[in-house]
Every structure is written in C-alpha cells, then in structure tokens.
Amino acid sequence: MNPVDPARDRRGRAAPAGRARGRPATVESIVGAGRALLRQGRAVTLRAVATELGCTAPALYRYIDGAAALGELLSEDVFVEVVGELTAAGEPYGEDDPAARLVAAATAFRGWALDNRAEFRLVFGAARGGGSGAEPFAGPLGGVLTRLVRQWPPPGPEGAEPDGALAAWAQLYGIVALEVFGHVRPRLIRSGALFRAVMREVGARAGAAGDGDRLAEVSREVLARRALTGRAVPAPGG
C-alpha cells in the first residue's frame, strides 16, 4: 500500500491540524482498525471501524469512498503482508534449490493462513464481481513464485501444461485452503499429514525425488523462524 500523507486525506485535501478524537489521521489507521475487527471475528463495517477509531461513520468518507473501498484496502494490505512472508521465507535457500524455496514459501503461507483465517477468507475466499477473491492478486503472486523458482521451465504456449512452479503452488494452495475452510479433520491439520504429502510431490516434480526428509526439515526451519516472532502452527512432522 502506498504511504499516505497524514496531513492530507486520500483525495489530496488538507486535513485539519492535530489528531482530535473523531478524526482518523490516515488511511492506515482505518485499515488497522478493520484488520483488528477481522482478527476479533467481528463484522467489518464502516460503523464498526468508526467506533474503533472513536469517530462517526460519515467521517470515514473523507478518507475512503465506502464499504467496497474499505474491503479493497483491507485486501491489499493483507496481500502485501502475505507476499512479504512468502518472499522472506524462500530467500534463505539458493536459486539452485527450487524445491526448498517453494516449500519454504508454501510453509510460510500455510502458517500465515492458519494464524489469520479471517484475513485469508477475505482475500482468497470471497468472490467479487463473479470471480475469486484471489483473482486480482493472481498475477503478482505468480510473479513472486516465479522469482523464487527461476530454474523451473517457463510456461508453454496457450493451452499447454502450466509451468511447474505454478502447478506445484496450485497443489500446495489447495491443501491450505481445505485446512483453513475446515474441510480437513483437525487432527490432520495438527499433524500436517496432507501438506507433507503434497510437499513430497512438489519435491519430486522439482527433481528432488526421495528428498522428502530434507524438504520436511526446510518446512520445520520456516516454522521455527515464525515461532521466534510469536507465530506458530502445527508443524508437518518428519
């Protein structure tokens, strides 16, 4: 999300001096309040956000255009956070190890999704305009994955098989979505059994067949780094 000048609203108009109660100073404060509501399992409405900020709902229109704009701002903020986690998770592993880079990114994504289920549903689950909620982010997300696994063959012509990185990601994402939306038994989520099985397939596709133990260790390393920041999910066992 682009930085917002706290001295001006989103239309470039000068904002009043100071931060008097009843006047949010930045779009970021509105987004922060919205995400706090999401994490609390509460409905994210203009009225609820205004209450969090100590102002009236009409006051928010000075900064955003309405409920739809609020949803888009929240989705963008969440997406930036997700991309940052994926990128950071994959970077410690060399470009000559695409399987490790993708497994690391996927593990970070799974950890983030299980820690932030409401935000996952907002960005990747809710349909908007007849499509998936993730649709506006498919291109940028694919670009992140392509950079993580540069050694995978590029996509073929229209109608050909998808490139290996995105095919593998589709499998890993699918398992995470099933877990987040409660379509997997809790004990399987705790054990990470399904996710671990897909990681083995990803490793085989990347030329790391029989390397499941090492990739499981990569996953554990990512989870350990997340735990250091106070975020943790059930680890896929060895």
Backbone angles phi, psi at 202, to 5 degrees: -60, -45
Q: Extract the tokens encoding 11.
A: 């239309």
Domains of the chain: 1-65 (no CATH), 73-228 (1.10.357.10)
Kindly give the confidence (pLDDT) of every residue in the chain, 238 residues in length, as a single tens digit, with 9 standing for 90 and above: 443 343 344 434 333 333 334 444 588 999 999 999 999 989 999 999 999 999 999 999 988 899 999 998 998 899 888 888 888 888 888 777 777 888 888 889 899 999 999 999 888 875 444 444 455 555 555 555 666 555 555 555 554 455 666 677 778 788 889 999 999 889 888 888 888 888 777 667 666 667 778 888 888 899 898 888 766 554 444 3
The one-letter amino acid code at 32 reads G
pTM here? 0.73
Pure H helices in the chain: 27-39, 46-53, 57-60, 67-90, 98-115, 117-120, 138-148, 164-180, 186-191, 193-205, 212-228
